[in-house]
């Protein structure tokens, strides 16, 4: 395995994630998810040896990160942070060329082979028409692809990305996620990325690292989803304690849509009601009623009459 965490505890003065036992190999694409504040970014920084491990060990290519210099870690792992500072007066080509920095002294000039490789990366990212654009004039999507291009120029076997789809529209989110999956599969890169858009991102990931209650659950994407009810059960999104959900018997999508609709519009206890989705309509029942509704408008009208 290329990346191994062995009984690893992560945090600052106090632990955020304890006793992690997991690993990833080249060719894997892994989605890191969890609520804000659980330690996702801290985990990333610890893998990069920017934060010390509180317990256990992390191994990169069978070497303990404590034994590796910053340069050696950079040769193994490229990183793209969502809030990376944009260098002033740099073009897209300049930014991607910076990925070669770890292979040169501070002041350097690319050799011809490196220039050809940088141009090849620009072509592969469909950014050729922007090669001489100032970074400030790039769209968010193209700037994000350029940041990934800089990581590719490092030629590191692993790439870590912290929220790579933040602030992107749906089209660019999908383009970035497709790009990451292609990198993992075609170039045998290990891709570890965090995302708040996990419902979309899970479609492109082989594995998930799910952080909750100071524990990290790692495994095949579908196994993690199946074993963690809160990731597929819409009660995760309950934001008003006055709302008590009814019993909902339905496939995941209509169940989630109904739950979303009810908890936004009714700050009350609905546990005496049962909703069953069948043949495109909802059957609503309780001890006193048995009704059918074909739309959320009809459901709202019915609940108003009952309460």
pLDDT in tens, 140-190: 889 989 999 999 999 999 999 999 988 788 888 898 999 999 999 999 999
Last residue of a domain, one of 207, 231, 255: 231
**217: pLDDT strictly greater than 90:** yes
| DSSP states along 11-36 | ESSSEEEEEEEEEE-TT-EEEEE--T
Residue 144's domain comprises 3-231
Instruction: Give CA separation, 286 vs 243, 280, 290, 306, in Å.
Output: 18, 20, 7, 11
- Regarding whether 202 and 276 lie in a shared domain, the answer is no
**273: pLDDT strictly greater than 90:** yes
Return the ∠ at Cα 56 (arms to 53 and 58), rounded to 5°: 65
Residue 66 belongs to domain with CATH number:
3.40.50.300
Query: Residue 214's closest CA among 58, 50, 34?
Result: 34
- Regarding whether 192 and 294 lie in a shared domain, the answer is no
pLDDT of residue 234: 56
Band of pLDDT at residue 259, cut at 50, 70 and 90: confident
Alpha-carbon distance of 261 to 255, in angstroms, equals 10
- Regarding whether 243 and 126 lie in a shared domain, the answer is no
- Regarding whether 300 and 151 lie in a shared domain, the answer is no
SS3 state of residue 244: strand
- Regarding whether 140 and 16 lie in a shared domain, the answer is yes
SS3 state of residue 306: helix
- Regarding whether 249 and 198 lie in a shared domain, the answer is no
- Regarding whether 248 and 143 lie in a shared domain, the answer is no
Mean pLDDT calculated for residue range 108-130: 90
- Regarding whether 23 and 149 lie in a shared domain, the answer is yes
**233: pLDDT strictly greater than 70:** no
CB 92, CB 42: distance < 8 Å = no
Alpha-carbon distance of 131 to 126, in angstroms, equals 10
Query: Residue 19's closest CA among 194, 218, 216, 192?
Result: 216
Split into its structural domains, the chain has a count of: 2
Alpha-carbon distance of 72 to 76, in angstroms, equals 7
Residue found under tokens 């090669």: 131
Q: Give the H/E segment covering residue 292.
A: strand 290-293
pLDDT of residue 215: 97
Task: Give bridge partners of residue 160 from the DSSP assignment.
Answer: 79, 192
Mean pLDDT calculated for residue range 91-114: 81
- Regarding whether 257 and 116 lie in a shared domain, the answer is no
Query: Residue 93's closest CA among 57, 46, 129, 68?
Result: 129
The Cβ of residue 99 has, within 10 Å, a number of other Cβ atoms equal to 24
- Regarding whether 141 and 107 lie in a shared domain, the answer is yes
Tokens standing for residue 54:
């509180």
Last residue of a domain, one of 231, 259, 290: 231
- Regarding whether 115 and 152 lie in a shared domain, the answer is yes
- Regarding whether 172 and 24 lie in a shared domain, the answer is yes
């Amino acid at each position: 395995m290329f990346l191994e965490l062995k009984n690893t505890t992560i945090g600052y003065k106090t632990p955020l994630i304890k006793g992690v036992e997991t690993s990833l190999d080249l060719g894997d694409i892994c989605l890191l998810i969890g609520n804000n504040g659980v330690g996702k970014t801290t985990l990333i920084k610890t893998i990069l040896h920017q934060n010390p491990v509180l317990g256990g060990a992390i191994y990169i290519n069978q070497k303990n990160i404590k034994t590796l210099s910053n340069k050696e870690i950079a040769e193994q792992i490229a990183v793209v942070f969502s809030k990376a500072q944009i260098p002033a007066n740099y073009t897209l080509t300049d930014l991607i060329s910076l990925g070669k920095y770890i292979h040169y002294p501070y002041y350097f000039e690319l050799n011809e082979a490196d220039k050809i490789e940088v141009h090849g990366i620009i072509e592969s990212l469909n950014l050729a028409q922007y090669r001489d654009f100032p970074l400030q004039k790039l769209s968010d999507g193209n700037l994000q692809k350029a940041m990934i291009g800089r990581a590719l120029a490092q030629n590191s076997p692993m790439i870590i990305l912290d929220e790579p789809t933040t602030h992107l529209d749906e089209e660019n989110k999908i383009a970035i996620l497709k790009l990451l999956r292609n990198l993992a599969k075609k170039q045998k890169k290990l891709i570890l990325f965090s995302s708040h858009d996990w419902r979309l991102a899970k479609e492109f990931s082989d594995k998930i690292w799910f952080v909750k209650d100071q524990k990290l659950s790692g495994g095949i994407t579908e196994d993690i989803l199946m074993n963690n009810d809160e990731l597929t059960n819409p009660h995760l999104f309950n934001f008003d304690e006055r709302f008590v959900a009814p019993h909902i018997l339905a496939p995941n999508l209509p169940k989630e849509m109904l739950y979303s609709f009810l908890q936004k519009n009714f700050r009350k206890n609905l546990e005496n009601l049962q909703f069953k989705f069948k043949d495109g309509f909802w059957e609503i029942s309780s001890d006193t009623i048995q009704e059918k509704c074909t739309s959320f408008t009809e459901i709202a009208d019915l609940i108003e009459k009952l309460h």
